[in-house]
With several copies, the nearest count.
Chain A
Amino acid sequence: MITLTMAKALNAGMRRALEADPKVVIAGEDVGKLGGVFRVTEGLQKDFGEHRVIDSPLAESGIVGTAVGMALRGYRPVCEIQFDGFVYPAFDQIVSQLARLHYRSRGLLQMPIVIRVPYGGGIGAVEHHSESPEAYFCHTPGLKVVTCSDPVDAYWMIQQAIASDDPIIFFEPKRRYHERAELDESLAPAPLHSARVARPGTDVTLIAYGPMVKTCLDAAEAAAEEGHQLEVIDLRTLSPLDMAVVYESVQKTGRVVTVHEAQLNLGLGAELAARITEQCFYSLEAPVLRVGGFDIPYPPSRVEEEYLPDLDRVLDMVDRSLAY
């Protein structure tokens, strides 16, 4: 049993993957000597060499496009995009190539590529360093999208993602990089594409993922003091969604609040609301309510705490749900 941060857990998970399979390579800007701007790949180039931990030229489309080529050659590339806001130059390669080569080849070719994206706000950064672009990728068939909310999941999920034969966009909640947890390696990890009930409850279901799981757990704690038992679901997998866990919870609580940092309009909350309403129409006591970033570009850091959903905004929405 060891205690480690999410950043270290990801590092350890990648180390495991590099050890386990010589075809695993890591590529990205500054992932080598520097170990990435968040030090998530620290020490890996030193131990596995420049051929396996590759500092890429400053070109995101190039990073993903060459990863596609390496995958065709039998490699399993793990690409790092330095910050969420810099994934867009690679959008074409991700959406039109990476996501489709398996399909285009009628299942003959595989694209075992992981694209790691530190995402989300709350770190006081400048523009383009606090985005939550997950919905773009969830709307793209052919991709799978996952995100971890704590070090233990980080450790296992990165290994599972690397082991997967499908392309996976792996979102890492950068403001949780330095939070710690205990890892007991003897406990078997949950399947990659499964959601989990992070806290059981009976009154309202909070659905969150990545950085917002902690916020929701805090909210549930606060609500408990006021006598409301909130169930918190950590989605973990954003595409495909593990709706079974969600439906089960909703059938019990009849009330749902979705929470994410991304803009509300066409964010994950929309899809959750649509599916839940269709599937649990007669169980819902209130409409699915959504908390999220406002429908404006991420603001400068001095107001980001207001932009980001926090405990108060979550509880406010819980109250609204309960008021139905």
Chain B
Amino acid sequence: MSDISGASGEVELVQLLTPEGERLEHPEYSFSGDDDQIKNFYHDMVLTRRVDAEATALQRQGELGLWASCLGQEAAQVGSGRALGKQDFVFPTYREHGVAWCLGVDPLHLLALFRGIDLGGWDSQQSRFHLYTIVIGAQTLHATGYAMGVERDGLVGTGDPDRDMAVVCYFGDGATSEGDVSEAFIFASSYNAPIVFICQNNQWAISEPIERQSRIPLYRRASGFGFPGVRVDGNDVLAVYAATTAALERARSGSGPSLIEAYTYRMGAHTTSDDPTKYRLADELEHWRLKDPIERVRAYLRRSGSGDDPFFADVEAEASDYAADLRARCLALPDPEMLDFFDWVYAEQTTHLAEQKAHYAEYLATFEDVSQAPVDGLAPAQSASGRQPQPAYPRGVH
């Protein structure tokens, strides 16, 4: 039988910055950027965390239906998001707010989705950040197909940095159990697709610990499908950046897929609907709090002297302003119009739906006749108690 050593043995974890803020050397990976770049990482992580906190607050106040916090995963997201080249394309789950930030997606779009205004309002082609995918694992196949397309477009291995491109696909530890993810690995390997799979192993899939999904480190899953995998400290923005950069290079050069397991921790609840005290111990949280991705960068910057009080204060202030503005913009979001949704089902509208829309519009009009002016955009649906007088019924094609 083939050995499965490593199953229980020590697992190597690529780390370039310790929780205490010390830089480390690694034989294979290194961070070649300067402290300005690290300051930018810091900035992005703080802003990401602040946006995330604001969204959580908005949800608590009833302004969002739900929020999936990325608290604790900022390094995994910003480190990989900032490693992306300007042609690369990203397929996220529903929690990649930090990656969205790096790609310039206005967080307002994320809020709008969780507010129940739309199902994804950003221009994914323009931002190179695909819409959030909620069905676990489904996006891994989309990402693989996209990468197959890139390869067919001749945009790998040309050696031209303005042409070669790669695809990055995010998913969680729980997702690795879905058949789609394994199928994505198979297609990616079979067609040597230019893709980097990034699994943020935050230790939990709602209430299920990683052990339910895998009894060996997740990065090793890749080897069984014929491509390399690596585990990096997901709370170390430098390590994540370095590993992602290397994997992207590999993909762009035509050497095929690889898997990065960013070993991190979900510091918050699964979503605002969740109560993690039901299934996990406070100790664990404490243990991971000491590994905070932002604190270690702050410690490093202080230590190296690149970050001083004014810098930290500025970032803090910017974050607060940003959050306040975001909140205001969120509250100002107009509600959607039911009638519009009929037009988005097909590229080429059908008679059936056009009629259904028209009938619904007629139906709505019967309410307006009565009340003259609806109190707000939702008026018709709210009038369930006070019925209108008998309207002249159009014979409906339902």
Contacts and interface: CB of A to CB of B under 8 A. Distances in A.
Interface of A: 25, 29-30, 32-35, 37, 51, 55-62, 64-75, 85-86, 88-89, 92-93, 96-97, 100-110, 112, 124-128, 141-142, 144, 164-166, 193, 222, 240-244, 264-265, 275, 278-279, 289-290, 292, 294-297, 299-307, 310-313, 315-316, 319-320, 323
Given A73-B145, A124-B65, A109 B125 contact: yes
A105 B178 contact: no
B306 interface: no
Contact of B115 (A34, A61, A302, A316): A302
B183 A65 contact: yes
Interface in B342-398: 342-348, 350-353, 356, 360, 363, 366-367, 378, 380-384, 387, 390-391, 393, 395-398
A165 B341 CA distance: 18
B257 to A, nearest CB: 13
Interface in B132-158: 133-136, 138, 140-150, 152-153
Contacts of B88: none
Contact of A320 (B142, B146, B147, B393): B393
B119 interface: yes
Contacts of A107: 343-344, 347
B187 interface: yes
A236 to B, nearest CB: 14
Nearest to B366: A316
Interface string B51-95: 000000000000001100000000000000000000000000010
B146 A301 contact: no
A60 to B, nearest CB: 8
Interface in B268-286: 273-274, 278-279
A80 B178 CA distance: 16
5 closest A-B pairs (Cβ-Cβ)?
A69-B145, A65-B141, A73-B149, A66-B145, A301-B116
Given A92-B138, A103-B345, A70 B148 contact: yes
A37 B387 contact: no
Contacts of A128: 134-135
A126 B116 contact: yes
B207 interface: yes
A102 B180 contact: no
A103 B131 CA distance: 12
B105 to A, nearest CB: 13
A292 to B, nearest CB: 8
A108 B109 CA distance: 15
Contact of B341 (A62, A64, A299): A299
Contacts of A56: 187, 212
B207 A319 contact: no
A69 B148 contact: yes
B205 interface: yes
A69 B138 contact: no
Q: Which of A89, A275, A315 lies at the interface centre, i.e. has the most chain B CB atoms within 10 A of its CB?
A: A89
A91 B393 CA distance: 39
- Residue among B148, B152, B346 with most chain A CB within 10 A: B346
A104 B120 contact: yes
A59 B208 CA distance: 13
26 contacts: A33-B279, A55-B208, A57-B187, A58-B174, A58-B213, A59-B183, A66-B141, A68-B142, A69-B143, A73-B149, A75-B149, A75-B152, A97-B133, A97-B138, A100-B119, A101-B131, A102-B344, A106-B121, A106-B340, A242-B351, A278-B397, A289-B398, A292-B398, A300-B118, A300-B119, A302-B117
B262 interface: no
Given A58-B177, A108-B123, A108-B125, 15 more contacts: A58-B174, A59-B183, A62-B177, A65-B144, A65-B145, A72-B124, A73-B149, A97-B142, A102-B344, A105-B344, A126-B66, A297-B345, A300-B113, A300-B117, A302-B336
Contacts of B66: 125-126
Nearest to A68: B142
A312 B136 contact: no
B196 to A, nearest CB: 14
